[in-house]
Structure 1
């Protein structure tokens, strides 16, 4: 037990250990028997479905007050559970579930400072009177007291960028419209020195972008939705320029915006890409770039090539062949002021937020060998890679 505590204090060391299935301190299955079970079930099989509440929303009988954060590692589940219970809850009460999302991390007391960004005093749970909302919620459902809560809109969301709360009739906001922003470049979108562009016009015939993904030197995690050891890997909002200086990170940015734009809702990347490896990962990150260059991360995601079609069973890829990948970045709510730029990062690692793909195609957790892979991202007429952004008209929500 003392050795385990010491290992937790040196978290970054064990995070990099390979193979994943042979962590020295976890060879004794009495310490964490579930760990080997997780490694043995990389597919979304019956093992996981037994624990998956999202497959059982229709069995839920009680309502839930879903509280999450834009930088919470469980944001995706928070949003899906709210939507699932509202749509399929088995009782009228369950379909009265509510949603609150602030600019918060996981396992915090809802402060205004997140990472290295101060979202203002109004962003605090105390300022929102989150405790009061919870008391009203329980008074209504447990004590049969009419607190007026159900007469209010079911969704409260904090809009980053303008740093204020908004009430909504639904999630995503009814006024939201998905807009495709396409990737463009002259074939050199690598790093801050590259020529990558992002815009609403579809690409014509453009050369693809290439980068070398080396899992021995992965792109380091810099903030985002993390849990649960901030001393080792701090979560939240951080300047991404140290990451964006790397040649294995492709950057696609809009010109400075002529007027403010709000993005609130789900974010998805459709990527046409190839790899020299039999399996690999592709990552994406949405970033708000200020006029001085400060690049604040908003949300991110990843896709493992072998699970591009379904997470229920692995499907190998053919090295060199272009496939379409859908990368789920969950969601955000952010106003980009005039003069800011919208940026999309594309790479193949975000470690240790996500485990490294060894690029070998072998069974999950068994690799001690790490192989580099040459990655290709296409953006042309037939393979128009793009990010679907949730645009809310100003004053429309």
Structure 2
């Protein structure tokens, strides 16, 4: 054998011996015996994992509470450890009760969401519940389920569900003192208001925060008949799934383009599958304020079924979603003689900001955290008084409304409802002037083009952006320069003009079209320079604004075409204010015919249902605002004199 062949053979033999060595079982001390405990034939995931909670300062219970018809509602209860004789705070929500206590911390204050941190101090039992048909609760979900009656032929509603829930909690939570408070914002505020229609005896205090009270008149769905079409995402998010659905997919980043290219709001919705949603089909069939809406208006229902439960109605002065509900519910109750147990609170906040930090409102900065201060100094002591009998530091006034100019709270023993206000006309004048003197003649016109609607924010308008929260304080200089926006301005003020209440827009106008919208903005124009905050130099701050759909000028329930080229009166209430226009500032009123894409476009030609207007229906119209012999257009202001009682 040649040397090279011999070497190759030896190498191969060595490799074989090495491989055999690895294949042979170990011997001696290296040998291992497989025992039964080493073998797992099932899953390494236990069927019911339980986290030891010996170091937790609270106990968490997940329960299914039975309602009177057998449906069970998922409820999360957080009880401070070693609790005895504590009150309960209940929130009923369509937004996932489990997410209200999402943290895994052993400390209760770190386990709850931001809105409840002040409550999680060991002195209160916190309860959250999924309403019917949402997340882990049984039953069928119906959007803001109407009370039992013509629109709800069943034997249950959110009033009975709240009653049954409180009854179960009182009987089955041995750590409680038997007293329950209710709280919640937006939809959750609506559930509080529903509970007040027939409250359980154990319900001792309630705080509806920015509640949905009348979705057609001025909360989520419409404002005086103009559709808030950007809320269509809420439809799919709430109703496409039992859990959390998704927003409508977007073709473009800018929603101005998305809604403009879609045509009508109905075309946009149904192109995205909304015919599958029963709520949309009911909603779309009732564009006017007919029985479908009137029978759900909670301000009317609360007066028909008044409770004696102490109630704190909370609202943001610049609430971009539900700026109507709390104020109107409180006013209706006061006017009907039920003011003793109902209180109005309005803070310098956006929608539901009461549950978050309150250092500022967009560019407006406050001297402290207004929300934390209010929760700790007013709200929690007020609840404690009714839930555990502790004395109030001082009585809660009839109305407590923040003064954003003086930056303090004003307390009112008699805050007037809108119908009892003394109003002072601020008239539109010639040469785009504005003043308290009656005008003698004149008019101003602009062309409203549905193909180029006025945006409610400077573009682009993305689907998700923090500007949504603060759009109501957006500097209006971007709109003032447009030819389809009329801006009337006073001379520089020499003395303070203080307004407290609800301004009323009173326009006399004609249009070449047969329908149209009117947007009126009451604005504080800052001095041209501000050495302490240069960004506020010349700022045009909206104080109060709203939109009105012209077809409803005579009747919200029975709309009618606008007679072309004939002067008509358009009179509508603007959101409530507590404001001071200071010397050196000016007051401005802006008028326009669109606020897009927040509100759907009016085609400006009469169609039975604007939701389904055709592209050919959208036409330009010349709008003329009168301030002379044919009508003295004005904003009627609730001007007051003298100092207010403030904290």
Q: Place the TM-score, normalised by the shorter chain, in its bin.
A: 0.7 to 0.9
1:24 and 1:303, CA in 2 relative to 1: closer, same or farther beyond 3 A?
Answer: closer
Is 1:67 matched up with 2:290?
no
Out of 367, 375, 378, the position equivalent to 2:613 is 367
Aligned to 1:210: 445
- Distance, in Å, in 2 between the alignment partners of 1:340 and 1:237 is 16
Query: Any residues of structure 2 matched to 1:104-253 within 5 Å, and which?
Result: 104-108=349-353, 109-115=356-362, 117-122=363-368, 124-127=370-373, 129-147=374-392, 151-172=395-416, 177-185=422-430, 195-204=431-440, 206-222=441-457, 229-231=464-466, 233-234=468-469, 235-253=471-489
Q: Does the CA contact (< 8 Å) of 2:264 and 2:601 recur in 1?
A: no
Task: Rate the CA distance shift 1:317–1:285 in 2: closer, same or farther, 3 A.
Answer: same
Q: What is the CA–CA distance in structure 1 between the aligned matches of 2:437 and 2:641, rounded to whole Å?
A: 19
SS in 2 for 1:306: helix
Q: Classify 1:281/1:68 alpha carbon distance in 2 versus 1 (closer, same or farther; 3 Å).
A: same
Aligned residue number for residue 191 of structure 1: none
Distance 2:633 2:604 in 1: 23
TM-score by length of 2: 0.54
2:331 pairs with one of 83, 103, 111: 83
User: Are 1:57 and 2:305 an aligned pair?
Assistant: no
Deviation at 1:377, TM superposition (A): 0.6
Work out whether residues 267 and 389 of structure 1, in 8 Å CA contact, stay in contact via their aligned partners in 2. Answer: yes
Partner of 1:285: 521
| Residue pair 1:66, 1:100 contacting (<8 A) in 2 also | yes
1:303-382 correspondence runs (5 A): 303-362=548-607, 363-369=609-615, 370-382=618-630
Q: Which structure would you say has the larger RCO, counting Cα contacts within 8 Å and 6 or more residues apart?
A: 1
Deviations 1:71-114 (A, max 9, x none): 1132222111111223337xx6x741111111110032252322
Within 2, Cα distance between the matches of 1:284 and 1:28?
32
SS, match of residue 515 in structure 2:
coil
The number of residue pairs the alignment matches comes to 376
Does 2:341 match 1:96?
yes
TM-superposed deviation, 1:3: 10
Q: Distance in 2 between matches of 1:112 and 1:68?
A: 17
Aligned residues of 1:283 and 1:327 also touching (Cα < 8 A): no
The answer to whether the 8 Å contact 1:275/1:319 transfers is: yes
Contact 1:269 1:329 in 2 (8 A): yes
Match of 2:411, SS state, is: strand
Rounded Cα–Cα distance in structure 2 between residues aligned with 1:81 and 1:173: 11
Q: Does the 8 Å contact 1:176/1:391 carry over to 2?
A: no
TM-score by length of 1: 0.86
Q: Could you say what the CA RMSD is over the residues aligned between the two structures, in angstroms?
A: 2.7
When structure 1 is superposed on structure 2, of 76-85 and 238-247 the one drifting more is 76-85
8 A contact 1:272–1:379 mirrored in 2: yes
The answer for unaligned runs of 5 or more in structure 2 is 1-239, 529-537
Within the candidate set 506, 510, 522, 1:270 is matched to: 506
Which moved further from structure 2: 59-68 or 312-321?
59-68
Tell me by how many angstroms 1:258 deviates: 0.5
Residue equivalent to 1:301: 546
Aligned partners of 2:552 and 2:559 also within 8 Å: yes
1:33 partnered with 2:278:
yes
Q: CA deviation at 1:259?
A: 1.5
1:389 is matched with which residue? Answer: 637
Report how far residue 10 of structure 1 moved.
5.2
What residue ranges of structure 1 are gaps of 5+ in the alignment?
186-194
The offset of 1:26, in angstroms, is 3.7
Q: Cα–Cα, structure 1 residues 156 and 230, in superposed 2: closer, same or farther, change >3 Å? A: farther
Q: Secondary structure at the match of 1:236?
A: helix
Please say which structure displays the higher CA radius of gyration: 2
- What is the CA-CA distance between 1:148 and the residue it aligns to? 5.4
